[in-house]
């Protein structure tokens, strides 16, 4: 008996991925909402089969509320990450900024 294919899964970080790929459901939903065809989406993400793209879209259409809740949570996580990154510069960025200000010409 064939094992049922899993078209959308949660990865170890809680991100929804398509099949066994690293392609996030977010990407397919965004393209679908921008009226890209499944064939175009499959060309943009060649690690996915056309079947996986169609199944991801079907999953989205069958679970719209859940997916929108997930997407909102993803947006919040990215916003928090951007805020955290903006407040903490890496040592390399700090050195480059120090070099830039020390070598900036004065007029």
Type and span of the H or E element at 16: strand 16-18
Kindly report the number of other CB atoms within 10 A of residue 104's CB atom. 8
Q: How far apart are CA 91 and CA 70, in angstroms?
A: 34
pLDDT in tens, 19-74: 999 999 999 999 999 999 999 999 999 999 999 999 999 999 999 999 999 999 99
The CATH number of domain 8-103, selected from 1.10.10.10, 3.40.50.1240, 1.10.3210.10, 1.25.10.10: 1.10.10.10
- Model confidence at 106: pLDDT above 90: no
Q: How far apart are CA 44 and CA 60, in angstroms?
A: 18
Helix ranges (DSSP H) in the chain: 25-33, 38-44, 50-62, 64-87, 91-103
Map out the domains of the chain as residue ranges.
Answer: 8-103
- What does each C-alpha distance from 69 to 12, 73, 83, 89 come to in angstroms? 18, 6, 21, 31
Per the confidence metrics, is the pTM higher than 0.75?
Answer: no
């Amino acid at each position: 008996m064939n094992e049922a294919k899993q078209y959308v899964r949660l990865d170890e970080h809680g991100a929804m991925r398509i099949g066994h790929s690293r392609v996030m459901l977010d990407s397919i939903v965004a393209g679908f909402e921008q009226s890209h065809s499944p064939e175009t989406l499959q060309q943009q993400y060649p690690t996915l089969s056309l079947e996986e793209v169609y199944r991801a879209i079907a999953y989205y259409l069958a679970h719209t509320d859940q997916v929108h809740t997930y997407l909102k949570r993803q947006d919040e996580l990215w916003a928090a990450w951007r805020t955290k990154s903006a407040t903490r510069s890496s040592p390399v960025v700090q050195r480059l900024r120090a070099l830039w200000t020390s070598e900036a010409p004065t007029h």
